[in-house]
């Protein structure tokens, strides 16, 4: 995986990145998934999110079960989203909540930001160019 494109959330195991066109086909060593179309935000007016706490909870439960599943034990898990700023922001809330509340890393919000900072800045530059 290209370190410029993906942020490492759980070292050697869980990654987050933006890819145009949705999740690539999973391989023997890597499982890709995307929630852009399954966890959709219901806009109040002309806003784009964030997703409801119920949807964030569903995401965290799904990812925890996936990471604990013996069928995925030796695979890298890659959460991808569309690079559009609205999709990327909502996906970042999901993976950030997982990193803070669910993962065994016990990271605080600042430490999660440090892990995603380079990904965020790189995505912003790519979006503006």
Per-residue pLDDT of 5-54, as tens digits, reads 688 888 889 999 888 888 899 999 999 999 998 887 665 666 566 778 88
Compute the distance between CA of residue 83 and CA of residue 20 in angstroms, rounded to an integer.
Answer: 6
Q: How far is residue 75 CA from its own chain's centroid?
A: 16
Task: Kindly tell me the burial class for residue 51, based on how many C-beta atoms sit within 10 Å of its own C-beta (0-12, 13-18, 19 or more).
Answer: buried
Provide the pairing of β-strand 6-10 with 14-18.
antiparallel
pTM (predicted TM-score): 0.78
Running DSSP on this structure, what letter comes out for residue 98? I
Running DSSP on this structure, what letter comes out for residue 15? E
């Amino acid at each position: 995986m290209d370190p410029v494109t993906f942020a490492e959330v759980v070292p050697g195991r869980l990654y987050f990145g933006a890819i145009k066109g949705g999740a690539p086909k999973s391989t023997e060593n890597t499982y890709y998934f995307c929630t852009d179309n399954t966890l959709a935000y219901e806009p109040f007016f002309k806003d784009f999110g964030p997703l409801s706490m119920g949807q964030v909870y569903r995401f965290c439960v799904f990812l925890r079960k996936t990471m604990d599943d013996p069928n995925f034990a030796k695979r890298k898990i890659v959460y991808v989203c569309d690079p559009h700023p609205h999709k990327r922001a909502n996906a970042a809330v999901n993976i950030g909540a997982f990193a803070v509340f669910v993962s065994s890393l016990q990271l605080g919000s600042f430490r999660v930001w440090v892990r995603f900072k380079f990904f965020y800045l790189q995505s912003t530059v790519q979006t503006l160019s």
